[in-house]
Structure 1
C-alpha cells in the first residue's frame, strides 16, 4: 500500500527520493515521468492553492489513474518535496559573489521574495521541514559562497541562510494576506477605525505613540527593504 496517502507520510527518505533516479521499468515505457507529474502539481498549486493538490487531482491533470502515480510520489508529503525543489530550480545559481556579502545576501532575499510571490503556496510549504533536493542544494551553495567573507563557521552560515529564508517566507505570507485585505476596502477601513479607537482609549499609550509617529513608505517593496536591511545589517554578531 503506497505511503499513507493524502494524510502524509511519517517522513520522506532523502536517499530514496533524491539519490535514486527514475529507472525505466522492464516492459512498456512509462507514460509519465516524475518531472511531468511534479510540473502538473505545481501548476495546480499556482492556480488553486496548496490545498487543491492531491494525488487524485494531479493524476487527473496528467490523464492518469491515481494508482499509477504512487510509484513516483507515494504520498502528498513526497509530492510537496518534489514541488518545492522543482520551483527552486527557477532561482539563478551561477552568479559569482561580488565580495560585498551584505549586498549579495540582500539580493538572494529579493530573489526569494520574487520567487515566492510567483508561487504563493511556497511560504506555507516551507513551514514544514523539507529535505533539500538538487536545485535547493545548488541555491544553498550560492548562499554559502556569499557568506564566506563573513568568517562565520559552517553551522552559523547555515543558520543565517535558514533565518533569511524564514524571514522572506514569513514576510511574503503576510504580504499576500495584506494584499487580500487591500482588495476589500471596507475591511481595511474597519481595521483602521478599530486601531484608531484602541489607540485613543487611554489604555494603550505605547501603541498611540507608535501610530502617531511619522509614516514611512508602505509599498510592499519599501517595507520589505526596510525589514531586510535591519536583518542583514545586524548579522555581524551572528
Structure 2
C-alpha cells in the first residue's frame, strides 16, 4: 500500500473511481501480519473484517460497504479498522481475494486444457452470481494478486500447459477468460434487473422483422432466419465460452509476432 490517507482525507462513501497501481503495495497488503504489531491483541482479525464486508456487500451491494458499517458489524470502533485496511479500496482488495478462495481447491486437472479452462470459467460465473458486487469490483478498481487469487492463476496456467504459448501469452489468456466471465455476468445481472414489458418485447421483435425484410440488411436477415438456440443465461454463457476457448487453437505459438 501507499502511505495511508490522512484522517481528514478519508470518507465512508462508495469508492467508484478506478484505482491506480501505486495506490496499493501488495507486499504490505499480503505479506504483512494480519493484525497490528503493537498494543494488545484485538478482539477481531482482518479475516473477520473482510468476511463482514463481504456479507454486507452480498446483502446490500458494494456501495453499502463503508468503514463505519463494517466496524458496526464486527463490533469495533471505526478508527481501529484503519490498521487493517486504510481505505475502502484496500478493503475491496481483501474482499476480492476472500471470495476467490471459493474457487479453491480447484478441481484436479484432467489434461484436457479446453475442459479444464471451461470448468474454471463456470466456477467463476457461479462465484460472481453468488457475489453480485464482484464484477463491479473487478472493473472499477485495479486489484492486486492476493494468495487465493494467485492460487487460481497458478491453476489456470497449469491447465494451459499443453498449449504452445509462452508464459506471457498464457497470462493474457487467463485475463481474457476472467474478463469474458465478468462481462457476461454483468450483462446477465443487468438483464435480470431490467423490466422489459411484453409489449416492449413484441415491438422490438416487429422492428427487427421489418429491418430484416427491407432488403438493405441481407446478412442480418439470414442470421435472424437461422434456427433458434436456447437463450437461457447458462446456455448462452456456455455457447460463448465454447467459441472463446475453442478458438484458442488458432492462437499464435510462442515467439510469433503479434
Alignment partner, residue 45 of structure 2: 33
Residues 1:174 and 1:76: Cα distance change in structure 2 (over 3 Å):
same
In 2, Cα distance between equivalents of 1:19 and 1:75: 18
- What displacement does 1:194 show? 2.9
- Gapped runs of 5+ residues in structure 1? none
Which range moved further: 150-159 or 8-17?
8-17
Alignment partner, residue 106 of structure 1: 118
Matches for 1:1-238 after TM superposition, within 5 Å: 1-2=6-7, 4-6=10-12, 11-127=23-139, 128-181=141-194, 184=195, 186=197, 189-201=199-211, 202=214, 205=217, 206-238=219-251
Q: Is the 8 A contact 2:36 2:84 kept in 1?
A: no
Q: Is the 8 A contact 2:121 2:178 kept in 1?
A: yes
In 1, Cα distance between equivalents of 2:221 and 2:10: 51
Q: Secondary structure at the match of 1:150?
A: coil
TM-score by length of 1: 0.90
RMSD, matched Cα: 2.1
Q: Secondary structure at the match of 1:132?
A: coil
Give a deviation string over 1:169-204, Cα, whole Å, max 9, x none. Answer: 1001111112223xx352x54144135225415386
